[in-house]
Amino acid sequence: MTSSSLPIVLYAVPFLAALLVAVVGWYVRGSARVIAVSAMAMTATLAAAVLARVMTEGTLYTPLGGWPPPLGIALVVDRLGALMVVLVSGVASLTVTGSLRHVSQELPGRETPYYSCVLLVTAGLIGIAVTGDLFNLFVHLEVASLAAYALVAAGGRGAPRAAMAYLIIGSAGASLYLLGVGFLYAATGTLNMADEARLVATADPRLVMVGTLLIVAGLGVKMALFPLHAWMPAAYQLAPAAAASFMAPLVTKVSAYALIRVLFWVHGEALLRTGGALEILAWAGAAAIVAGGALALVEADLRRMLAYSSIGQVGVVMLGVGLANTAGMTGAVLHIASDALVKGVLFLAAGIALLRFGVSRVDDLNRLRGRAPWTGAAITVAGLSLVGVPPLAGFFGKWYVLSGALQEGRWMFVAALVLGGLASIGYVFRILERLYFAPAPEHSPPGEGSWLAVGACLVLAAGIVLLGVANESVVSTLVLPALPEVGP
Amino acid sequence: MIQPFDSLMLRTLLGPSVAALQLFALYVLMHGHYSPGGGFPAGILLAASMILPLLVKGRGAAWRTLSPRGAVTLTAAGVLLYALVGVASLLLGGTMLDYSWLPFGDDVANRRSLGILLIEVGVTIGVAGAMVSIFYSLAGDIGQEGGD
Amino acid sequence: MAALLDYLVNRGPYLLFVVLAVLGVYLMTSHRNYLKAMVGLYLFQASVILFFVAIAFRVDSSIPILVPGRTITLSNPLPHALMLTAIVVGVATLGVAVAILRRIQAETGSIEEPRHEAGESGR
């Protein structure tokens, strides 16, 4: 397959699979999950192939429809995009495979629309990662988001209301992004990201600044950046466990990546510093770290607590982006990867706990004691990575952002990171305490739960360990060449 | 539940209205190259022609109606047609959605024009299915078959 | 007076866009009824669409359709095409919202936000 068609095939596989599931799924029993799992596996393989190609050949480029830029929509996959694609398809395949049993338990008879929506979300996220056109980003963002609203609404009591709140806030955010793109288009006359980068320096600065701020606000809603995070806790608490384990690690992270792409590849660091967008992002990130940590600390429901923790981690990423030096950006990218893996494990394990042991509150985790050793091990690895214990992956992300903040002498940000770290110690150790030290109840169901789910948790946890241990080579070969050009 | 809103005038006008709507949908689809139109409004007109009998006669009346699941399948089939045209041009040598590689028509402009027409047909079918499915979900009929 | 008229003629669509956007946001946030919030959302999206179409206009231009032999200025067709997509996205969003609303009504019997906090805190 030629290099120029690889990105579009990568996008086409989950998209076509979603349509195939909708056409065939109701008429051939069990075909929905077969198509979904095989499509995910194919996507993951193609993503690895894309990464290999990008490492050897440089940026992959696909002019859709044969129209050359700036006339047509172009797909551009550089190193960062290839990293994101591998992350998305890898985590998505593992969580979807791991939650096969959960889906048939929670959503019996509704597997066809469920898997169709899951594949649509995957296709949308991959589309965001490979696109090189601002409006195309909006379309993929909305495709992924609409399917995500449907997935959240499929949960039990209270889920439709949470989905409605998510829908209204999320669509408002997407409209803000679209408005920002409109301002940029009015300023430069093009939507192609590369062309825009060329023209934006000489365009009307007021239009560009307003457009940038609107894009930041819109994507900030999508990634649940404090204070635009209100939709997230209820949505991830009440969604079906399988859907939460699939969406929570990925949707917000890909939106964060989209912001990095638009800010640094289209605008460039010099332009952003004069506009003030970076300052806003850094302060919002710091506030998110503190607020997310504090709210997670006092939360009693397990998945709601994990959602607040995610808000905190997105804050770390945005702080790294806002600092915009090499260390900060390295930390941001590493943290995107490590938090996707960590939340994949934690939400999948929360699904096991919910569906096998009936656990929805943190205090009930003692039901797993002694019964679920493998799940407990995966939770421990993920929890320690969340706290930031070396040599696990989570340490390095926070460490790079911290050194970026120290480098700039921003003591408020250092304080925010430290406070967030303390809070994460608090809530992670609450989980571990209930898991390992609280007395087990008398009656517990035997067995640990679906071996697929436990297996997926373990593979993701192994990924966390691997990313941490191999961190230096990962940073030097994959991350550093992928970064945009930023300061020291 | 869709209650029929039956009256002599509506029942009489139903036949000609549906026929006119569908013909006009076809016209708008074909003429989208040269005037405002194309796949999206054609799909909506087609959907209107399918919803009107439901409103007048209710479900299960003499007219064959699209089941809720059928509507969703139709939507996916329409989008699948669009995607397969794109994939066909990929397989035949060009890049995705590059209609100049399709195997009919004489020159490049003609091939692109025909390719666009094909995908607009897919869009029409997809939009029609989606509108009927939204109508069913608004009317509360979706839950009846256990699908969502 | 002439300046005001001149402003309205040249910048009128942008003023309208601002008014619609603010109305949409007001509707989204002030009502407990979800249907009204949905209308507000669609109004907000419509205002963004209006903005795009407004920036496509060129002075003394006509509709962007090529007719052989016509030499008049054409307005920019790209935002129109983009907004077709955006309108469809908006309609699809409304469709999903309607389906979710049906679910809410089936579950709770009303389409309004409850008087106290909508999310459960699990405490």
Q: Would you say A95 and A450 are in contact if contact means Cβ atoms under 8 Å apart? A: no
For residue A488, being part of any structural domain is answered with no
Task: Specify if A266 maps to a domain.
Answer: yes
Is B15 an 8 Å CB contact of chain C? no
CA distance B43 to chain C (A): 12
Is B41 within 8 Å of chain C by CB? Answer: no
Q: Which two tokens stand for residue A452?
A: 């697929």
Taking the CA of residue A462 as centre, how many other CA atoms within 13 Å lie in the half-sphere pointing to its CB? 9
- Look at A19 and B86 and tell me if their CB atoms are within 8 Å: no
Q: Please give, rounded to a whole number of angstroms, the shortest distance from the CA of A254 to a CA of chain B.
A: 24
To the nearest whole angstrom, how far is the Cα of A328 from the nearest Cα of chain C?
Answer: 34
pLDDT above 50: residue B119:
yes
- The share of chain C scoring above pLDDT 90, in percent, equals 35
Number of C-beta neighbours around residue A189 at 10 A: 15
Neighbours of chain A (3+ CB pairs under 8 A): B, C
Closest partner residue to C95 (CB to CB) among B34, B134, B143 is B134
pLDDT of residue B147: 32
Interface membership of A66 toward B (CB under 8 Å) = yes
Evaluate whether residue A303 is within a structural domain: yes
- Whether the CB of B147 is below 8 Å from some CB of chain C: the reply is no
Instruction: A56-62: list long-range contacts, CB under 8 Å, 24+ apart.
Output: A57/A3, A60/A3, A60/A4, A60/A6, A60/A7, A61/A4, A61/A132, A62/A4, A62/A5, A62/A6, A62/A7, A62/A8, A62/B95, A62/B96
Residue A487 lies in a domain: no
Mark yes or no for CB contact C41/A304 under 8 Å: no
Confidence bin at B148 (pLDDT 50/70/90): very low
- CB spacing of C98 vs B140 below 8 angstroms: no
Alpha carbon of C52: minimum distance to chain A alpha carbons (Å): 6
- Chain C hits for A139, CB-CB cut-off 8 Å, are 85, 89
Which CATH number, 2.60.40, 1.10.287, 1.10.3470, 3.30.70, labels domain C2-108? Answer: 1.10.287
A179: closest chain C residue by CA: C48
Considering only CB atoms, which chain A residues are within 8 Å of B99?
A: 65
Q: Which residue from C28, C48, C104 is facing A182, i.e. has the nearest CB?
A: C48
A65 contacts B73? CB cut-off 8 A: no
CB contact under 8 A, C89 and A142: yes
Q: Do C122 and A168 touch (CB under 8 A)?
A: no
Instruction: Tell me the chain C residues in contact with residue A296 when contact means C-beta distances shorter than 8 Å.
Output: none
Q: How many CB atoms lie within 10 A of CB C119?
A: 18
- Grouping H, G, I as helix, E, B as strand and the rest as coil, residue B107 is coil
pLDDT averages per 10-residue partition of chain A, 488 residues: 80 93 86 91 93 86 79 85 92 91 84 92 95 92 95 88 93 95 90 84 84 92 89 90 91 93 81 77 91 91 92 92 86 91 92 84 80 85 88 87 88 90 91 83 70 84 85 80 71
Report pLDDT digits (tens) over B106-118.
777 788 888 888 8
Q: Which domain holds residue A118?
A: 6-482
In a domain, A1, yes or no: no
* A256 inside domain: yes
Q: What is the pLDDT of residue A306?
A: 93
Name every chain B residue with its beta carbon within 8 A of the beta carbon of A63. Answer: 95
Residues 186-205 of A with CB under 8 A from C: 186, 191
**Stretch 154-213 of chain A: residues touching chain B, C-beta under 8 Å:** 154
Chain C nearest CA to A298, separation (Å) = 10
Residue C77 in contact with partner chain B when CB distance is under 8 A? no
CA separation (Å) from A437 to A368, A389, A429, A433, C34? 11, 20, 11, 5, 45
CA pair distance B18, B56, nearest whole angstrom:
12
Query: How would you label A94-104 residue by residue, b for 16+ Cβ within 10 Å and e otherwise?
Result: bbbbbbbbbbb
Determine what percent of chain C is predicted with pLDDT higher than 70. 93
The beta-carbon neighbor of A65 closest among B75, B98, B147 is: B98
CB-nearest partner of A172 from C44, C97, C121: C44
Closest CA of chain C from A168, distance in Å: 7
Give the pLDDT confidence score for residue C121 in this predicted structure.
Answer: 44
Chains near C with 3+ CB pairs less than 8 A apart are: A, B
Number of structural domains, chain A? 1
Convert the pLDDT of each residue in C3-15 to its tens digit: 888 888 778 888 8
Q: A348, A425 in Cβ contact below 8 A?
A: no
Cβ contact (<8 Å) for B83 and A16?
yes
Kindly identify which residue of chain A lies nearest to residue B77, measuring between CA atoms.
Answer: A23
| Interface probe, candidates B28, B137, B142, chain C, greatest C C-beta count within 10 A | B137
Task: Indicate yes or no: CB of B40 within 8 angstroms of CB of C84.
Answer: yes
Q: At what angle do helices A251-260 and A111-130 cross, to 10 degrees?
A: 20
CB-closest option in C65, C98, C106 to B138: C98
3-state DSSP: chain B helix, strand, coil percent, rounded to 5? 75, 0, 25
Rounded Cα–Cα distance for residues A305 and A480 (Å): 33
SS3 of chain C: the string is: CHHHHHHHHHHHHHHHHHHHHHHHHHHHHHCCEHHHHHHHHHHHHHHHHHHHHHHHCCCCCECCCCCCCCCCCECCCHHHHHHHHHHHHHHHHHHHHHHHHHHHHHHHCCCECCCCCCCCCCC
Please judge whether B137 and C106 are an interchain contact, meaning their C-beta atoms are less than 8 angstroms apart: no
How open is the CA angle A65-A71-A72, to the nearest 5 degrees? Answer: 30
| CB within 8 Å: A23 and B77 | yes
Which residues neighbour A397 within 8 Å (Cβ) at sequence distance 6 or greater?
A316, A320, A331, A332, A334, A335, A336, A337, A338, A339
**Nearest CA of chain B to the CA of C98: how many Å?**
6
CB of A301 within 8 Å of a chain C CB? The answer is: yes
Altogether, the residues listed in chain A come to a count of 488
Nearest residue, CB atoms, A153 vs list C79, C93, C103: C103
Structure confidence by residue, pLDDT tens digits, B3-53: 777 788 888 998 899 999 999 999 999 988 777 788 899 999 999 999 888
What is the DSSP-derived secondary structure letter of residue B63?
A: S
Alpha-carbon gap, residue A399 to A245, rounded angstroms: 26
Distances from the Cα of A343 to the Cαs of A90, A142, A249, A250, A394, in angstroms? 13, 23, 5, 9, 11
Q: Note the pLDDT of residue A120.
A: 95
Is the minimum CB–CB distance between B76 and chain A shorter than 8 Å? yes
Binary contact (C100, A299; C-beta < 8 A): no
Looking at residue C122, its pLDDT comes to 39
Query: Is the CB of B95 less than 8 angstroms away from the CB of A109?
Result: no
Q: Enter the DSSP assignment of B85.
A: H
In the prediction, which pLDDT does A346 show? Answer: 92
Minimal C-alpha gap between A66 and chain B (Å) = 5
Please check whether residue C58 touches B, CB under 8 A. Answer: no
Question: Would A207 be classed as within a structural domain?
Answer: yes
Per residue in C29-74, pLDDT (tens digit) is 887 888 999 999 999 999 999 999 988 888 777 777 777 887 788 8
Contact A185 C107 (CB under 8 A): no
Confidence band, pLDDT 50/70/90 cuts, at residue B142: low
Judge whether C94 is closer than 8 Å to chain A, CB to CB: no
Quick check: C5 contacting A, CB < 8 Å?
A: no
Considering only CB atoms, which chain A residues are within 8 Å of B72? Answer: 22, 113
